[in-house]
Structure 1
Amino acid sequence: MMVDAVVAAMAVSGHENIPVIVAETGWPSEAEAQAAGNYAEMYLKGLVTHLRSGLGTPLRKEGVAEAYIYQLFDEGDSSRKNDKNGTTGAATSGITGAGQHWGIMYPNMTMKYNFDLSGSTRVTGNDKRWVKMILELAASLVSVLLFL
């Protein structure tokens, strides 16, 4: 649903042909009621299956250009606290207390659960045209939001 929201906003601003890249996606495996390892495993397996299928979304039939799983390793010692709320990294996850448990591997490099990531590709390079298009898109989105 969120991909289609971005695609709709891009279409309004005249940039519907820009590839969509999901920068961080995942599910916490510990520390919250909904953060169980089996949910994290189901989410990631479903994500990989969906991305491989090429089915996309209702508004972006060809799918997203890339998706990045957040994160490879758990952050480590669960007794370590970094902020006044007693959480570590939760500011980026949006879930208090689960900031350390988004990894697909334990800190000792063993897998939490098995799923296949083969067929993944590596993206390299830095094309300045993308930077210009992203800045134009951001300006367009701001102007659209101001009129709402």
Structure 2
Amino acid sequence: MVMSPLILVVIVSFVLVSVAVRHGDDVVSDTYYKDSRLYHYSAEQDQRAKAMNLAGMILFSPEDKTVSLDLRGDLPGYPESLVLVLSHPVEADLDERILLQEISTGRYRGQVAAPLQHRWYLQVSPLGEQESEAQWRLKGEINFNIGNGVPLKPVEQ
């Protein structure tokens, strides 16, 4: 009888610790880096995209789970493939990287596995090892409850 409250506290503590470990906060993935105790944002990719007058229009097709991108700008040559990153605003486990292949000059197409519903953040960049190493990037945000297409542009600083 005397030990039961202590045992209950120990059990509840283990449950709370396991929930905290299993459902921790998601990590921010962008061009931020840590310098001492300060966080800095690098906008070089956005500035390069703006200097090249890059813009795009992305259109999702929920019927066949495809995505198409029309890219325009002052590029010396259009890349053969691009990477589209779909980032869920809440659950990082739902994030998806989609390879977009060039089907004609400035037109790209790829397959989507993520559910095309609710809101997503979009980022398009040339195919590379990491998003932070790409020469340029375009960003946008789509809400599938409103529509299936959205323009992409460099982030304004």
Question: Fold conserved (TM > 0.5)?
Answer: no
Q: TM-score, normalised by structure 1?
A: 0.24
Indicate the structure with greater strand content: 2
Larger Rg: 2
Indicate the structure with greater helix content: 1
